[in-house]
Amino acid sequence: CGSGNSGGSSGSGGGAITLGFAQVGAESGWRTANTKSIQDSAKAAGIDLKFSDAQQKQENQIKAIRSYIQQKVKVIAFSPVVESGWDTVLKEAKTANIPVVLTDRAIDSPDKTLYKTFLGSDFIKEGHKAGQWLTKEFASASGTVNIVELQGTTGSAPANDRKKGFGDEIAADPKFKIVASQTGDFTRAKGKEVMEAFLKSQSKIDVLFAHNDDMALGAIEAIEGAGKVPGKDIKIVSIDGVHDALQALSDGKINHVVECNPLLGPQLMDLVKKVAAGQEVPQRIETEETEFDQAAAKAALPQRQY
């Protein structure tokens, strides 16, 4: 699972729907695949897509949303870079009668009338899965298991929720200890930089939990640079399932990958058509995803599109 089903069903009928989409940025392989999925499926669905890249800055996303309101687009969709601080701009969209669809990341506003639906993964579940793998892998370990954590973008839903899910899972056994935890902003470069610092400050690291694959891939470079063997000296679990991470898993440099599906485009376009037509849609649509061990990564690699 995890490969999007073919989208773009019925024709648009009449004038094309205009969709304003405010993307987070281009920080990771996941994001690149997500952007391509959205652009391709808008084309296939005959939807006129206005696309902006916020470079991981909330103020840029707010600006983009305001400009979509000004342009009177039919629907606004966005992937909120952080969870908080959206009420004002979303109230402006509501006043202008423009329906909003959240994709990928959620907001923490208690006002559920500010958006029609939220399409995306359950990040707490993903954190649980990473933690479950870890507790199994180290079930027979007798001493302390020292864990370092590379967090995603500070204040983002996936960073908050993956941290929580993972933390809850390992909390039952005091031998699991997170000895260092810092943001790597979901990028390879930052993942490498922060892992280098961890390797200097920590005398013993058994496991790395990276909130996404790109940070894990950056960390692998740091680990190798320090003369250690990733996947052996330091076990690695990460989240996403992009091609390069499945390759690293297949090569034994990563030990486990929890999938997060970026191919949200086809489902998003179906939702956009529905809300544009004033139809009811479910408040929450959760993506289906799987997990990869080494054998599963080897099997999936030849068809992996991203």
Q: Which residues bind ligand GYE (CB under 6 A)?
A: 27-28, 30-31, 104-105, 158, 186, 212, 214, 239-240, 260
Q: In this structure, are residues 29 and 213 in contact, taking their beta carbons and an 8 Å threshold?
A: yes
Nearest CA to 85 among 65, 105, 122, 58? 58
Q: Strand 145-151 vs strand 48-53: parallel, antiparallel, or unpaired? A: unpaired
Min. distance of Cβ 211 from ligand GYE in angstroms?
7
Residue matched to tokens 């000004």: 70
Q: Is the dihedral of CA 148, 151, 154, 157 positive or negative?
A: negative
Min. distance of Cβ 190 from ligand GYE in angstroms?
11
Cα 274 from Cα 77, distance rounded (Å): 13
Min. distance of Cβ 213 from ligand GYE in angstroms?
7
Cα 186 from Cα 229, distance rounded (Å): 22
Nearest CA to 96 among 119, 65, 118, 117? 65
Min. distance of Cβ 201 from ligand GYE in angstroms?
25
Q: Which is nearer to ligand GYE, 64 or 215 (CB)?
A: 215
Min. distance of Cβ 124 from ligand GYE in angstroms?
12
Q: Which is nearer to ligand GYE, 3 or 9 (CB)?
A: 3
Q: Which is nearer to ligand GYE, 30 or 138 (CB)?
A: 30
Q: Strand 291-292 vs strand 256-259: parallel, antiparallel, or unpaired? A: antiparallel
Q: Which is nearer to ligand GYE, 166 or 186 (CB)?
A: 186
Q: Which is nearer to ligand GYE, 20 or 158 (CB)?
A: 158
Nearest CA to 149 among 180, 171, 184? 180
Residues 6+ apart with CB under 8 A from 139: none
Min. distance of Cβ 14 from ligand GYE in angstroms?
34
Task: Give how far Cα 223 sits from Cα of 33, 35, 85, 203, 249, Å.
Answer: 27, 30, 37, 13, 15
Q: Which is nearer to ligand GYE, 28 or 255 (CB)?
A: 28
